[in-house]
Structure 1
Amino acid sequence: MAQTLYPRGTVKKIVKAHARKPLSRNADILIFLNYALFMQDLIKEASIASKQAGERGISAKSVKKVREGCLRKFMG
């Protein structure tokens, strides 16, 4: 049996509970990939913001600063 990066059944249950609509067969995979791309972009933007602020590493402050912009990029 192949190991997955996330529990598919759990993701499907969560999405079904919120959407209250039927899901296509691989919708959970697309949701996970979109989440992974969002997190990658958020970390990249927070890293840039923290370097511009003269911080040594990524802080909660730098993540909060770029959060809104990243969310806007990934809204459907």
Structure 2
Amino acid sequence: MAPGQKLYPRVTVKKIVKAHSNCNVSKNVDVLIFLDYALFMQTLMKEATIEAKQGGERGITARGVRKVTADSLAKFKG
């Protein structure tokens, strides 16, 4: 973590999730949310890389990420 950067307060994350879901949340829900987010970003970048290679591009572009976002989100819909 970069110097001067603070972690997001765990209690705040739990309150936000509880307010949106209207149900009780577990003690480590913030950790699970972060891990799910990290896995989603990994999948998104992998799919965008494949899309870029198939399109003959040199690297990942915003257009390529937009193309694969819907499919990646569908995989993580719970």
Any gaps of 5 or more consecutive residues in structure 1?
Answer: 1-5
TM-score by structure 1 length?
0.81
Aligned length: 72
Give 1:11 shift: 2.3
Give the unaligned 5+ runs of structure 2.
Answer: 1-6
Amino acid at match of 2:34: F
Output the aligned Cα RMSD.
1.7
Give the equivalent residue in structure 2 for 1:48.
50
* One-letter code aligned to 1:21: C
Tell me what 1:33 maps to: 35
1:20 to 19, 22, 35: 22
Identity of aligned residues (%): 61
Pairing of 1:52-71 with structure 2 (within 5 A): 52-71=54-73
Name the TM-score, length of structure 2 as normaliser: 0.79
1:73 equivalent in alignment to 2:68: no
Counterpart in 2 of 1:3? Answer: none
Q: CA deviation at 1:75?
A: 0.6
In 2, the alpha carbon distance for the partners of 1:54 and 1:21 equals 47
Distance (whole Å) between structure 2 residues aligned to residue 17 and residue 10 of structure 1: 11
